Amino acid sequence: MTTTALVSGGKDSLYSAYLAETQGWTVDELVTLIPDDPDSMLFHTPNLSMVALQAEAWGKTHRTQRVEGIGEEAEVRALRSALSGSSGTVVAGAIASSYQWGRLHRLCFELGRRLYTPLWGKSPGRVVREEFGAGLDIRLVHLAAEPLPPRLIGQRLDEQVLGEIERLSRTVRAVNVAGEGGEYETLVVDAPFWTGRLVLDRTRVVEQAGVTRLIVEAAHLARRGERER
């Protein structure tokens, strides 16, 4: 039996995998789906290459599954392939997306695997506070909601930044404060259960059609006590 965590490098998937371990499962592997479609409805897409470093920092096995083609059928086919090679619990970071949760639930049922989504149904603000309260160093790497100012790109998601997002969400209801609707995407660069932190050596910011992205071009893992080079 294998406990598989679907991990994109963002806050919700990594925190869910961590919660699974604190609640009795040993996460055996981190699996990352890599879509051809940068606007995938089912999968996170920014900076997916960073998951390999996160897995190394956590001491976890990591594997990837390419999504060949565009659209729901191609994405579900790739997810089926990624989860068909083993049995056991599947951990995912869904909070409120019925689109994502429904497809994962149906596929896990068909494969005879249990789906564990510890964040499902929780208040978005509560989820984010739990995440940075647990010591996750979370950076904003993708801003796609018009009210979110480009100056937030690359910033650490903490109480101050979350408070700003919450204030915006009260004036623009389309903004989910946890980014569940793709309003923003994140990258975790450090966690208390890792042996080191991600150091982003080279990045660039791209702004296009109202979307601001932080693209990580080079990074390395700095072990605890090691001076960042």
Predicted local confidence at residue 110, as pLDDT: 94
CATH class of the domain defined by 4-116: alpha beta
| Interhelix angle 72-83/98-111, nearest 10 degrees | 40
Q: What is the pLDDT of residue 227?
A: 55
Domain ranges of the chain: 4-116, 137-223
- The DSSP secondary-structure symbol of 158 reads -
Low-confidence ranges of the chain (pLDDT < 50): 228-229
pLDDT of residue 86: 83
- pLDDT recorded at residue 188: 98
The whole-number pLDDT of residue 205 equals: 97
State the residue for tokens 């100056």.
151
- Digit-coded pLDDT (tens) for 60-104: 999 999 998 888 888 899 999 999 988 899 999 999 888 888 889
pLDDT at 169: 85
User: Beta-carbon neighbour count of residue 177 at 10 Å?
Assistant: 22
φ, ψ of residue 35 in degrees (nearest 5): -75, 150
| Span 137-223 CATH architecture | Alpha-Beta Complex (3.90)
Full-model pTM: 0.93
CB-based contacts of 24-28 (< 8 A; 24+ apart in sequence): 25/89, 25/91, 25/116, 27/3, 27/60, 27/91, 28/2, 28/3, 28/4, 28/60, 28/61, 28/88
Read off the pLDDT of residues 102-119 as tens digits, 9 standing for 90 and up.
889 999 999 999 999 999
